[in-house]
A and B are shown apart, each in its own frame.
Chain A
Amino acid sequence: MREIQANVLTETIAKLAIEANCVLPCDVKRRIEDARKNEPWETAQGILDKIIENYGIAEANTVPICQDTGVCCVFLKIGQDVHIEGDIRAAVDEGVRRGYTEGYLRKSVVADPLRRVNTGDNTPAMLYTEIVPGDRLEITVAPKGFGSENMSRLAMLKPSDGIEGVKAFILRTVEEAGPNPCPPIIVGVGVGGTFDKAAYLAKKALMRSTDERNADPFYADLEAELLEKINALGVGPQGFGGKTTALAVNIEWMPTHIAGLPVAVNINCHVTRHKTVVL
């Protein structure tokens, strides 16, 4: 049994929260820069130039790329041969508290969805844990902005709706969102499971690098087809028209019930942030 002290978790999360908010992942930068080269619409070119300039300034000055530094999603993949010494939940929240305070990040969490008093330190984190084989601990910190989160949707389709129903739902969700989620967007899709698992898969899909296609060629083809169809909608960067509406479509799937076809679409903006370390 390998021992990891909870304070190591705290320090790692604090550091990742600041880095994730100020430095855009390389794959996302590459997608935006490629999109700029292939964008034929002049207004859209101008917007993409400003987006590129913005993440350059953020990285150079260690300031947040976007003022919505998000609710802090923390994914822990805990090896079953690891023992974390201390309170995991408290250690994670302390990491968020420290990162968001020391990094001058915005505190955007209210303690209660109806009474709405800000917690003042961006806690609690949205914590997702998974038990995996081995003696490693993988930590991913993903600040999630709510402009795009609010445009996310879930549908419990019928098996007879099939693949065409799934495609139509995803396209409708992106089209209805229009300019609101700050396009160009990254589209996370979860198919299958249960009501809640579909949503979780969609969120997890956003953690995957945009360089990586689904391991199953059937779903990899579906990702490519949906990206092409979304970029034919004409919404464009910021919704002012253009080719670049989405930078990637990532799909995750799992088995489901004979009676169901759950599909969830979790939208992320061009400031798709996540950073991972393995301890």
Chain B
Amino acid sequence: MEKHIQLPITRETARTIKSGESCLLSGVIYTARDAAHKRLCELLKDGKPLPFDVTNATIYYVGPTPAKPGQVIGSAGPTTSYRMDAYSPMMIAAGETGMIGKGKRSAEVVAAMKEHGAVYFAAIGGAGALLSSCIKKAEIVCYEDLGAEAVRRLEVENLPVVCVIDSEGNNLYETGRNAYLASR
């Protein structure tokens, strides 16, 4: 059974989402990958304001393909999250409550999630054409020079994700695999 989540996710809501839960996200999310995270964190380090409000924000690690005529956005599946590990603790401390990507996270990211209340979701890697259909509106917020890596504001409807790591540090990549192995 899927859990419907209306964005934004508050710190309190983040603590109610549990590892292993399939969720459908609706509302506003922002995109950022490696290059955008680097710039955002440089601003945070310098104590400067970010180009968008990161309070209770959910960030999707995605660099979409260009939209074809008539499309809102091109294919838009997740990129591998560990490359954002160097930046996520700072983003979480600044207010980020949700991250969408795929793959493992570092101990430092999980510690920040537990401390502040944040949740890590995975979308299906390599399912960019399917995920694109849940994106109803897309506009560039900043860093247009980065092309696919620019920060975009997306309005999503029922974006299918799975909570992999929750705010208590439970991790589906460990528990799911162990449960399967134990079932054999």
Question: Are B126 and A179 closer than 8 Å at their CB atoms?
Answer: no
B51 at the interface (CB under 8 A from A): no
Q: List residues 181-235 of chain A with CB under 8 A from any CB of chain B.
A: 181-182, 234-235
Give bound CA distance, A270 to B126, whole Å. 7
Q: Nearest Cβ in chain A — how far from B1, in angstroms?
A: 12
Consensus secondary structure, chain A interface:
loop
**CB-CB contacts of A50-70 with B at 8 A, as 1s and 0s?**
110111011001011111110
Residues on the B chain within 8 Å of A147, using CB: 79-80, 102-103, 125
Pick from A65, A106, A179, A270: contact of B129, CB under 8 Å: A65
**CB-CB contacts of B44-60 with A at 8 A, as 1s and 0s?**
00000000000000000
Q: Tell whether A54 pairs with B128 under 8 Å between CB atoms, given A106-B64, A238-B102.
A: yes
B132 at the interface (CB under 8 A from A): yes
Give bound CA distance, A50 to B162, whole Å. 13
Binding stretch for chain B, among A73-81, A129-137, A164-172, A239-247: A239-247
Q: List residues 29-79 of chain B with CB under 8 A from any CB of chain A.
A: 35, 62-68, 71, 74-77, 79
Pick from B129, B132, B148: contact of A108, CB under 8 Å: B148
Question: Are B183 and A179 closer than 8 Å at their CB atoms?
Answer: no
Pick from B35, B65, B102, B184: contact of A106, CB under 8 Å: B65
B26 at the interface (CB under 8 A from A): no
Residues on the A chain within 8 Å of B126, using CB: 51, 54, 65-66, 145, 182, 269-271
**CB-CB contacts of A115-137 with B at 8 A, as 1s and 0s?**
01010100000000000000000
Give bound CA distance, A147 to B127, whole Å. 13
Q: Tell whether A67 pairs with B125 under 8 Å between CB atoms, given A120-B147, A180-B103.
A: no
Question: Are B147 and A182 closer than 8 Å at their CB atoms?
Answer: no
A141 at the interface (CB under 8 A from B): no
Residues on the B chain within 8 Å of A68, using CB: 63, 77, 79, 128
Question: Are A107 and B148 closer than 8 Å at their CB atoms?
Answer: yes
Give bound CA distance, A45 to B27, whole Å. 28
A47 at the interface (CB under 8 A from B): yes
Question: Are A63 and B124 closer than 8 Å at their CB atoms?
Answer: no
Pick from A50, A54, A67: contact of B63, CB under 8 Å: A67
Q: Nearest Cβ in chain B — how far from A171, in angstroms?
A: 15
Residues on the B chain within 8 Å of A178, using CB: 103-104, 173
Binding stretch for chain A, among B10-18, B92-100, B109-117, B174-182: B174-182
B146 at the interface (CB under 8 A from A): yes
Question: Are B124 and A47 closer than 8 Å at their CB atoms?
Answer: yes
Give bound CA distance, A234 to B178, whole Å. 8
B87 at the interface (CB under 8 A from A): no
Give bound CA distance, A88 to B179, whole Å. 53
Question: Are B127 and A54 closer than 8 Å at their CB atoms?
Answer: yes
Chain A, residue nearest B147 (CB): A118
Could you name 21 residue pairs across A and B whose Cβ atoms are closer than 8 Å? A41-B183, A47-B124, A50-B124, A50-B160, A53-B130, A57-B130, A58-B75, A63-B129, A64-B129, A67-B128, A68-B128, A106-B63, A106-B66, A107-B148, A145-B126, A182-B125, A235-B177, A238-B102, A239-B103, A239-B176, A241-B176
Interface residues of B (CB under 8 A from A): 35, 62-68, 71, 74-77, 79-80, 82, 102-104, 122, 124-130, 132-133, 146-149, 160, 162, 172-173, 176-181, 183-184
**Apart from the given pairs A108-B148, A234-B181, A234-B184, 18 other A-B contacts in the complex at a CB distance below 8 Å:** A54-B124, A55-B129, A63-B129, A65-B75, A66-B128, A67-B63, A68-B77, A104-B66, A106-B74, A147-B80, A147-B125, A150-B80, A179-B102, A235-B177, A236-B177, A239-B177, A242-B180, A271-B126
Interface residues of A (CB under 8 A from B): 40-41, 43-44, 47, 50-51, 53-55, 57-58, 61, 63-69, 104-108, 116, 118, 120, 145, 147, 150, 178-182, 234-236, 238-243, 269-271
